Every structure is written in C-alpha cells, then in structure tokens.
Amino acid sequence: MDKNRRAFLVSMAQNVAIAATGGFLWAAYVDEAKSASLILRPPGARKEDEFMKLCIKCGLCVEACPYDTLMLAKPGDNKPLGTPYFIPRDIPCYMCDDIPCVPPCPTGALDIDSVTEKRDGQTIFDITKMRMGVAIVDIKDCIAFWGIQCDACYRACPLLDKAIFMEYRQNERTGKHAKLLPVVDPDYCTGCGLCEHACVTEKAAIRVLPREVALGKVGSHYVKGWEKSDESRLKGSKGIQTTVTPRSKKSPVESLNEGIDFE
C-alpha cells in the first residue's frame, strides 16, 4: 500500500517537473518575444501591454487596409508572432477618413472609441485622434539643419503646420539665409509616418517611434503656474509642507551669523 502511494507521488512529481521545465522554456520565449518594444501598431491600438493581451492575431485589420500598410509579424520578423504592425519607411499609414482597419477588430485590441467622436448623437470617425507613435527628428542628419532647403516631411504631413511646423533660424554660416527647421508637435502627431516615408536622406532623419519609447513624462509635481487649468490642480492641497531637520530648524541667516561678534 505504501509502495503504491510512493509510486503515485513520484509519478506525480515527475509530471509536475516536466510541466515546470516545459513551462519555463515556453514562458522564457513568450516573455522575450512580447517585449519587442520598437513596434508600431495599427490605428486605435491600445497600450502595448493591453494590446498584447487582447490581440487574437486574426489579421482582419491587415486585410481591411487598402494600402497594404499593415502586416502580420512572421517568424523571422523578430516581433511578437502574428501581431499586426507597419513599417512607415516602406508603406506609411495614409490616415483613411473612414478608418477601415479598426472596426473589424473582434477583440477590441484596436479601440474604436479612441478614434471616434460623438457629435450630435452621431459617432464620427476622426483619424487625427489616433496616436500610433510620434515622429522624432535627428537634427544632425536632417539636411534642413545644415541649411539646405528641404521641407519634404513638412509637406508630407497630413496635419501640416500642426503636427510638423517650420521654425526659422538664422543660418550663421552664410549670415544671410534662414534655416527652415521641421519641428514635431507630439500633441498633434498621429505617428502615421508619411514624413518618414517622404524623408530624402538615405536613412530617414525623421522617424516614427512608439510614444511609450520616445516621449518622456514630467511627473505630477510640476505645475504650470501660468495655466489656469493646470494651476487648478493645486486646489484643495494643504499648501507647502517642508521637512524640518536640526539643520533647517533655524533660518540660514541665523546659522550664518552664529558666533560672529558684530561689535
């Protein structure tokens, strides 16, 4: 009887060990594969971790795209297998007004609410609301920064003068010309990549990166005191609280003057 129990326990332990070994290898691969952060997702995609939870890898968004912009990651692409992405330098997103790629998504990995707006009780598509990524200019390799006139990205931008605007700066080398420098405003940039597609340099000097990768974060303790809306965040706060230590108990003036005889 005892022998039987032992045999059962050992075989159970064996099974668990095999499962753990397999599970470990499996988990290691999946965890690595899904952490590819430099990947541009289709319009309306949720944040990457949420997207990776939801995407069922069916390719309905890919099939809906009329420009063949979207692709499904194949083995060898070094992206999470089967998930949709695009490479703007090859084919950018042309920002269709009717957004054909988002509604077919069966799981909600592409969030239709993020690219629609309710106007007069009607749902209206607004592709300019999408945030697939943000364009970043490499100011060393952008020839406009050399003083050569080039506004390829600026002209290509579907949100011209908003997402990319031109900043004028004196060309100090010649002394009499202006440099027309492209500047990206992340508040408007959708990450469509038309600029990257249009860039004339051998390797694009303006590139779209995932917003999570490219953008910083200020933190809530910075308040724009000159903006009413931002300033209003301070309402209800208990005022400034300072930490009191033995050193800071007295005011600096007091401690500076300590022990000095002024007579």
Partner 1 sequence: MSKLKKYRFLILRRFTQIALLVLYIGGNYWGWKILQGNLSSSSLFETVPLADPYAVLQIFATGALIGTNALIGAVIIALFYAIVGGRAFCSYVCPVNMVTDLANYLRRRWKLDKFEKKWWASRNIRYWVIGLSFILSFILGTAAFELVSPVSMTHRGLIFGMGFGWAAIVTIFLFDLFILKNGWCGHICPLGGFYSIIGRYNLFRVRHNQPNCTLCMKCKDVCPEKEVLYMIGKKSQIVDMGECTLCGRCVEVCDDDALNFSIRDFAKKGEKNDV
Classify residue 58 as exposed, middle or buried by CB count within 10 Å of its CB (0-12, 13-18, 19+): middle
Inter-residue contact 101 to 110 (CB < 8 Å): yes
To 5 degrees, how large is the angle CA 211–CA 216–CA 218?
A: 135
CB nearer to partner 1: pick between 78 and 149: 78
For the CB of residue 15, give the shortest distance to partner 1 in the complex, in Å.
7
Q: Interface residues with partner 1 (CB under 8 A)?
A: 15, 18-19, 22-23, 26-27, 29-31, 33-34, 49-50, 52-54, 56-60, 62-63, 71-72, 74-77, 80-82, 104-109
Query: Tokens standing for 228?
Result: 């009413």
CB nearer to partner 1: pick between 46 and 211: 46
CB nearer to partner 1: pick between 74 and 162: 74
For the CB of residue 91, give the shortest distance to partner 1 in the complex, in Å.
14
For the CB of residue 77, give the shortest distance to partner 1 in the complex, in Å.
6
CB nearer to partner 1: pick between 62 and 192: 62
Inter-residue contact 64 to 100 (CB < 8 Å): yes
For the CB of residue 17, give the shortest distance to partner 1 in the complex, in Å.
12
Where are any strands of DSSP class E within 24-158? 71-72, 84-85, 116-119, 122-125, 134-137
Find how far residue 195's CA is from the centre of its chain.
Answer: 17
